[in-house]
Amino acid sequence: MSRLIVEGGTPIQGEIWVQGAKNSVLPILAATLLCEGPSVLHNCPRLSDVDAAVQILEYLGCQVKRAGDTLTVLPDTACRYDIPDDLMREMRSSIVFLGAIIARCQKAAISYPGGCELGPRPIDLHLQALRKLGTEIVEEHGFLDCQSHGRLRGAKIVLSFPSVGATENIMLAACTAKGTTEIINAAREPEIVDLADFLTKCGAKIKGAGEGTIEITGVEEIHGAEHHVIPDRIAAATYLSCAAITGGDLTLRGCSPDQMKSVLPLFEEAGCRLDYEGENIHIWGTVPLKPLKLVRTMPYPGFPTDAQAPLMAMTTLAKGATIFVENIFENRYKHAYELMRMGADIKIEGRVAVVEGVDALHGAQVCATDLRGGAALITAALAAQGETVITGVHHIDRGYETIEKILTAVGARVKRE
């Protein structure tokens, strides 16, 4: 198993090109299964989650080729409607393939998904929606047996929570269904808009992506298309946190400041100076940082739950107390206990975490138990005194492309063993 060794105390300085968004690539790869003819996807990062999605497509019978950051998917040879348990367990978002498989094959056989243990993230919303579209689903011993008996049928679907995954599954299932589908209380994340943009290029008819109500008018078939995946706003927030905690001077290129409006003001509140326009963000960190009054995770356009962990790491060295309220997942403070090993002062009560800034962090042996928690440990280690050894690196590799090389290129001392 790999581990990262981080020698702290060096400010981050230089430029980083932001990778393509993991949370966009995965549903778009699932969407290629619906198409007639090849799709060409640019800005696809090399991540273990992307590799898992490609393995699923190949198991289903698709041909997938990578050239640099471009993936070409030819789905015409797809011949299966099942996904083995070992592939489903590779990542939580594997459930997004369900809507696409049912729409293409009128049946599907899969197990429950795996991935990071962040507490309950039930797929009930997915299943309820697919049933409304005309799918019969039998759940037994962790497996789902689904049949639609012909093309799916459009329906009005009201989500009790603006679930990103459920919204994506409905969009995939509905774009070739008979009639019109309306999603009420739909997720509004930029990744939803990116999926809709790709599907529209493929010939789907979608209105309202990025708003609370999405309308999909079904078409008989869609074709492949060429698409450039949006930048990863969570990776961008992570690297900004690394620069902020080390008092660095960093420019992010190829990102979307407009998609980070709930995040960027927090760096300014912490005392950092920001300059952003077009596709670039420049941050000048300051030492010591100021505390943040309150960080409350919410569905988009609120503060993203995926950015909570790196910003928590950043506030461990702030002069004062910061309060975090986690409203999305019940079990998303595991990284806090690892940060405490490094000397952080964090108190947790249910969904609330209070971070009292300390004068210094120190290197320690820590373990990444999930993707964003791993990013938090790297962020803290960059500013800690001495050497930090991080295990559980496979979690980090799910969402960050060669993070040790990227950080080393901007002055950090990080190596993988």
- Degrees to nearest 5, angle at CA 188 with 87 and 73: 40
Q: Is 156 exposed, middle or buried (0-12, 13-18, 19+ CB in 10 A)?
A: exposed
Exposure on the CB side of residue 245, measured as CA atoms within 13 A: 32
Report whether 92 belongs to an annotated binding site.
Answer: yes
On whether 122 is known to bind a ligand per the annotation, the reply is yes
Residue 345 annotated as lining a ligand binding site: no
DSSP string, 104-124: HHSEEEEE-------S----H
306 in a labelled binding site: yes
Q: Report which of 196, 332, 190 is spatially closest to residue 261, judged by C-alpha positions.
A: 190
Q: How far is CA 282 from CA 38, 273, 302, in A?
A: 38, 8, 22
Q: Is 416 annotated as a binding residue?
A: no
Instruction: Kindly state the tokens that stand for 17.
Output: 């090109």
**Residues sharing a CB contact under 8 Å with residue 159, sequence separation 6 or more, in sequence order:** 125, 129, 166, 167, 183, 184, 185, 186
Assess whether 202 carries a catalytic annotation.
no
Catalytic residue among 35, 44, 105, 116: 116
What is the number of alpha carbons within 13 Å of residue 168 lying toward its C-beta?
A: 28
Is 107 annotated to bind ligand? no
Query: What are the backbone angles phi and psi of residue 168, rounded to the nearest 5°?
Result: -65, -45
How many separate helices (H) and strands (E) can be counted in the chain?
14, 25
State yes or no: 124 annotated in a binding site.
Answer: yes
328 known member of a binding site: yes
User: Are the CB atoms for 357 and 321 separated by under 8 Å?
Assistant: yes
The answer to whether the beta carbons of residues 174 and 132 sit under 8 Å apart is: no
Whether the Cβ atoms of residue 135 and residue 116 lie closer than 8 Å to each other? no
Q: Tell me which residues are annotated as active site.
A: 116
What are the binding residues for phosphoenolpyruvate?
A: 22-23
What are the binding residues for UDP-N-acetyl-alpha-D-glucosamine?
A: 92, 121-125, 306, 328
